[in-house]
């Protein structure tokens, strides 16, 4: 079975599942047995909050453990066997793809096989036969070629948890010289508005509350705090657009496909006066993982 996983700074995504990329380790049975990974004698509660930022995801085993949780959730969602061979499909930003590819592949593809662990009350025995890595953003477009068909040049803006990855496609092919990675992801937006609310109102709101308000969902909250979040959504959008221009991409001249977890925020706060040539919003957070999986599956069939 080919399983695609998007290892985000803010969340881990599969084609069918998504959960925060937080991890809490315990030497003994924790307070809950829901979303609990057991591996090599330790317990890990997966999806609890947000872990400290790791620019290099291979410096510890956190993302390896979160990969096990994602595999278990995807297998459970697909009602598949708990013992099987797996080809893992994952991704990296194109700006650092060549530099990081081998290290991340070695990190995910380890010599000790099979990979044995327990997730919730089910035991898994998996043989990771291969790891296929693909560029983020570009892989998501594999599911939606209609967004770029007929366009000589298109800008992809993948707005993730920590970075905004920009990639220009010329005749549907990534232009490696026209790729940028900006540290302006959604986490930066949330941290800034959280601090402003604390200073002005004394309230300590949570990441999830801010996310819901930014995406236009219902949330019980102090009205002043809510208005500050809504206002900051527009400020964040303006900062993203300004940074895109400063990076050398003219969104008034070429179409832009916004994708990733922050695409829905941008969609809600874009205004006609921003003057975008054409904006497309791919707000499906599973798109990268599903794209990795589809491309890897096609490679294995050939």
CA atoms within 13 A on the CB side of 48: 16
Residue 154 burial (CB count, 10 A): 21
Q: Where are the alpha helices (DSSP H) in 26-126?
A: 62-77, 97-108
Per the structure block, which two tokens stand in for 88?
């893992």
Residue spans of beta strands (DSSP E) within 136-272: 153-159, 164-170, 173-182, 256-259
For position 162, what pLDDT does the model report?
A: 87
Strands 153-159 and 164-170: antiparallel
Backbone angles phi, psi at 143, to 5 degrees: -85, -20
pLDDT per residue as tens, the chain (302 positions): 999 999 998 899 999 999 999 999 999 988 878 899 999 999 999 998 777 777 788 999 999 999 999 999 999 999 999 999 999 999 998 778 888 999 999 999 998 899 999 999 899 999 999 999 998 888 888 888 888 889 999 999 999 988 899 999 999 888 888 889 898 999 989 999 999 999 999 999 998 899 899 988 888 999 999 999 999 999 999 999 999 999 999 999 999 999 998 999 999 999 999 999 999 999 999 999 999 999 999 998 86
For position 136, what pLDDT does the model report?
A: 87
Q: How many helices (H) and strands (E) does the chain have?
A: 8, 15
For position 58, what pLDDT does the model report?
A: 92
Please report the domains of the chain, with CATH numbers, ordered by start residue: 2-135 (3.30.420.40), 149-186+216-284 (3.30.420.40)
For position 79, what pLDDT does the model report?
A: 96
Q: Is 0.75 surpassed by the pTM of this model?
A: yes
Q: What contacts 24+ positions apart, CB below 8 Å, involve 278-281?
A: 279/251, 279/255, 280/147, 280/255, 280/256, 281/257
For position 16, what pLDDT does the model report?
A: 97
For position 88, what pLDDT does the model report?
A: 98
């Amino acid at each position: 079975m080919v399983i695609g996983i998007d290892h985000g700074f803010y969340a881990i995504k599969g084609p069918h599942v998504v959960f925060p990329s937080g991890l809490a380790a315990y030497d003994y049975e924790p307070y809950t047995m829901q979303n609990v990974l057991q591996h090599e004698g330790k317990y890990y509660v997966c999806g609890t909050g947000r872990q400290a930022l790791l620019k290099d995801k291979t410096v510890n085993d956190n993302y390896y453990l979160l990969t096990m949780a994602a595999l278990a959730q995807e297998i459970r969602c697909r009602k598949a066997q708990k013992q099987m061979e797996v080809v893992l499909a994952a991704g990296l930003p194109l700006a650092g793809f060549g530099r990081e590819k081998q290290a991340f592949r070695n990190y995910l593809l380890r010599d000790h096989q099979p990979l044995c662990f327990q997730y919730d009350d089910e035991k898994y025995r998996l043989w990771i036969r291969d790891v296929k890595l693909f560029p983020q953003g570009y892989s998501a477009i594999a599911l939606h070629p209609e967004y770029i068909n007929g366009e000589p040049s298109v800008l992809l803006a993948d707005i993730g948890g920590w970075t905004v990855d920009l990639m220009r496609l010329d005749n549907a092919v990534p232009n490696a010289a026209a790729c940028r990675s900006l540290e302006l992801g959604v986490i930066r937006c949330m941290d800034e508005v959280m601090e402003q609310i604390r200073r002005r109102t004394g309230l300590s709101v949570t990441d999830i509350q801010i996310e819901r308000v930014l995406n236009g969902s219902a949330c019980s909250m102090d009205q002043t705090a809510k208005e500050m979040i809504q206002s900051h959504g527009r400020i964040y959008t303006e900062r993203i657009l300004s940074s895109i221009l400063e990076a050398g991409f003219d969104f008034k001249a070429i179409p832009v496909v916004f994708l990733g977890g922050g695409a829905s925020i941008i969609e809600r706060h874009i205004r006609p006066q921003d003057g975008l040539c054409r904006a497309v919003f791919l707000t499906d957070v599973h798109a990268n993982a599903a794209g990795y999986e589809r491309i890897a599956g096609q490679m294995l069939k050939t």
